[in-house]
Chain A
Amino acid sequence: MATVTLSSIAKSFGPTRVLGGVDLDIADGEFLTLVGPSGCGKSTLIRIIAGLEHQDGGAVTIGGQPVDHLRPHERRVAMVFQSYALYPHMSVRQNIALPLTMSRLKLWQRLPLLRALSGQRRAVMRGIEADVAAAAAQLQLDHLLDRKPAQLSGGQRQRVALGRAMVRHPDVFLMDEPLSNLDAKLRVHMRTELAELHKRLGATFIYVTHDQVEAMTMSDRVAMMDSGTILQLGTPSQLYEKPGSLKVAQFIGSPAINLLPASVGAGGRLELFGRPMSLTVQQPQGQAMTLGVRSEALSLVQGEPAGAGRAWFSARLRRKENLGSEYILHFDLAGRDLPGVTMRTSPAQAASVAEAAEVTLGFDEAACHLFAADGERIEPRGPGVASASIVPLRA
């Protein structure tokens, strides 16, 4: 079991800077997810931790020991690849046994002819067999041990890859998008399996994905990366409820957060579509801001859009999406050249809106996220601060 510490890891491929000084402290037994858009350097970072790639600057420490001079297999890490990377000509049994034969048999005991001379070899092989069987039983692979990888389904291959990682009892599991080749249903299933495996093994997991749902559902903490730096590090709910920047807000959450243009009016009071809100900020008047509202924070406003601390705007229903237990409603912003908004709501609410109907959507101002023009999160001074001077808003 081990902590993993990265200090100012930098990496360039030729002139392109892929990682720009990444610092990360991962606790013993933690499930940390690296998430971010394609090409942001997640794989490169995890490969540096594994020792498959060398960083240009910075240091990697595993379990308090610097490992930069160690070769991959000496770092006590195991890696699961997106492509599974099973040895194609070996059976499942041989695939899972391979890391053990490598570590428990000496070189000459592995050579085709010489190995017959070794007396201990048989005992060692029996031990390996037992460990392989144990790992296979944990992953329900018992009946597949004699197949070749080509004869397995995607999910089974993934489990073999996990088995091959597990048998060595590594301190750290590195997983690079292990589920992205699976179909949606299997992915959901494997998510649970991985989370349970993590709990059972108690090892440190570093998990790479560009699927924010995986990041949110499995992790203790999530590190959101973009262009080779970590934008934000926190628990899934921290990232969801308090995104530190526009990019994080856009990436985390499904459907994606709704973004509305806002601006700073007189006295630092925020205006949405020209209507003053109860929020005030310190930015100078006239500054453009972006206001983010999660789809579940939106609601239909019946009758007069009223109430302190609530903002509203009008929209036209474009499409309903039925998810069974809930609906996602897609709206166009009437008469404005903006991308539409999405609202998550109950089937009953959704039924009350007719196709192409003009409606008023409202949200609690306390539930919105504010971002400056450079994408930084801005904490508004809430309605509470200046509430005395606020009269209920009217159209």
Chain B
Amino acid sequence: MFDPRLIPALALVLAAGGTALADTPRLDAQRMFPSGEIAFQKICARCHTGREDAVGPDLTANDYDPDTIRHFARHGSGPMPAFTESMVDAVTLDQIAAHLASIRKETEE
């Protein structure tokens, strides 16, 4: 019998050529996160989910200037841990602030 579930597995073996995939470039050398939106989703939004049972407050409900974002990120607050430059760099924090501002603008319009 032909089992259709085997197709993806087979395709993978062919694609990978049965060998190890390897050696990604250092992430920080090419920017840790490609955009403020992705950085926000992969870190901040895991607590700032916007849901009622979220760990942190909804960050799209208020305006935050880049300085406020930077302050909270570097110092943490209560349950929110501090983030070092090596975790989220200064440029990315500004991009996060811009991303939040753009969501805010959309919802206001």
* A and B bind: no
Residues of A within 8 A of B (CB): none
Which residues of B pack against A, CB within 8 Å?
none
